[in-house]
């Protein structure tokens, strides 16, 4: 068991799917967890679900594209708990429209949440991590950040940017004992994938050498390892968790 005892962790996009599983996994490994969601009702629903599981977490719903709002919430969390040790930048949206059907506004929306918001939250926690003599920033990338995808150019473009942000911040912040890594999930059994018909799912599985679609827990465990002291010499890495589905 990896122990995150006495660690304070913030997970953005923590109300469902992979993000919610990261919240569960960190809590089960003794971290104090604060989840961020996009709306009050989704945050309250996630907290209620976790409470029924015996998990006590905090939640906020700041606008991740408003730096002043993020800065205020991060300060509030630091004042409440005394330190911030881990930030997981998981909030994001995907896209699959062809370029002719993608507007400039569509592209900007993807970049705003997948890249700009990640910059905002990272920038806001860095001063507290420096003061605390270290910390961990983890970002959700994607297998499409390495291989691209047939349509929906904004999504892989944003994830390529996530990798660049990860690798560059790792070098910048290493002298302050702040590690920065990313996890690049492959095809994962989220609500969206689970709702796909059998005739769509089975061909997908055939493209994965390990022979199955990934579970949210597979991704959460990768984040857990990178957040822990077991990964103390790992920074600037984009960890592919995709069952070797690399094409």
Higher pLDDT, 94 or 11: 11
What is this structure's pTM?
A: 0.96
Residue 3 inside a domain? The answer is: no
Residue 190 inside a domain? The answer is: yes
Residue 155 inside a domain? The answer is: yes
Q: What is the CATH number of the domain that holds 60?
A: 3.40.50.720
CA dihedral over 32, 39, 73, 139, signed as positive or negative: positive
Structural domain of 79: 8-241
Average pLDDT, the chain: 95
CB 15 within 8 A of CB 40: no
Residue 168 inside a domain? The answer is: yes
pLDDT at 198: 83
Model pLDDT for residues 164-201, shown as the tens digit of each residue: 999 999 999 999 999 999 999 999 998 767 776 788 78
Exposure class string for 104-127: b at 16+ Cβ within 10 A, else e? eeebeebbebbbebbbbbbebbbe
pLDDT at 184: 97
Residue 247 inside a domain? The answer is: no
The residues, ordered by sequence, that sit 6+ positions from 150 with a Cβ below 8 Å of its Cβ are: none
Measured CA to CA, the distance from residue 95 to residue 90 in angstroms comes to 16
Catalytic residues: 155
Overall domain count for the chain:
1
Measured CA to CA, the distance from residue 90 to residue 129 in angstroms comes to 19
Percentage of the residues of the chain whose pLDDT score is greater than 70: 98
Q: How large is the average pLDDT for residues 97-118?
A: 96
Residue 246 inside a domain? The answer is: no
> What is the distance between the terminal CA atoms of the chain, rounded to a whole angstrom?
33
Tokens of 112: 């705003």
Res. 46: pLDDT tops 80: yes
pLDDT at 216: 97
Helix 154-173, helix 104-111: angle, nearest 10: 30
SS3 of residue 44 by DSSP: helix
Q: How large is the average pLDDT for residues 83-87?
A: 98
Exposure class string for 85-101: b at 16+ Cβ within 10 A, else e? bbbbbbbbebbeeeeee
Q: How large is the average pLDDT for residues 206-210?
A: 92
């Amino acid at each position: 068991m990896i122990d995150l005892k006495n660690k304070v962790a913030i997970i953005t996009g923590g109300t469902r799917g992979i993000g919610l599983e990261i919240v569960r996994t960190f809590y089960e490994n003794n971290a104090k967890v604060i989840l961020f969601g996009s709306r009050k009702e989704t945050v309250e629903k996630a907290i209620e679900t976790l409470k029924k599981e015996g998990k006590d977490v905090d939640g906020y719903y700041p606008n991740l594209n408003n730096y002043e709002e993020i800065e205020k919430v991060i300060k509030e969390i630091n004042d409440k708990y005394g330190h911030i040790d881990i930030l997981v930048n998981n909030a994001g949206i995907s896209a699959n429209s062809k370029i002719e059907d993608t507007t400039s506004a569509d592209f900007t929306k993807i970049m705003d949440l997948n890249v700009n918001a990640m910059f905002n939250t990272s920038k806001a926690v860095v001063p507290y991590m420096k003061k605390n003599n270290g910390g961990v920033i983890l970002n959700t990338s994607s297998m499409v950040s390495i291989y691209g995808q047939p349509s929906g150019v904004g999504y892989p473009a944003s994830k390529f940017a996530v990798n660049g942000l990860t690798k560059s911040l790792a070098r910048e912040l290493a002298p302050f004992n702040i590690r920065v890594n990313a996890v690049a999930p492959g095809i994962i059994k989220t609500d969206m994938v689970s709702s796909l018909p059998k005739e769509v799912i089975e061909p997908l599985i055939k493209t994965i050498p390990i022979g199955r679609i990934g579970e949210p827990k597979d991704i959460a465990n990768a984040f857990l390892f990178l957040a822990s002291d077991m990964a103390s010499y790992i920074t600037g890495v984009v960890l592919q968790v995709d069952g070797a589905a690399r094409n």
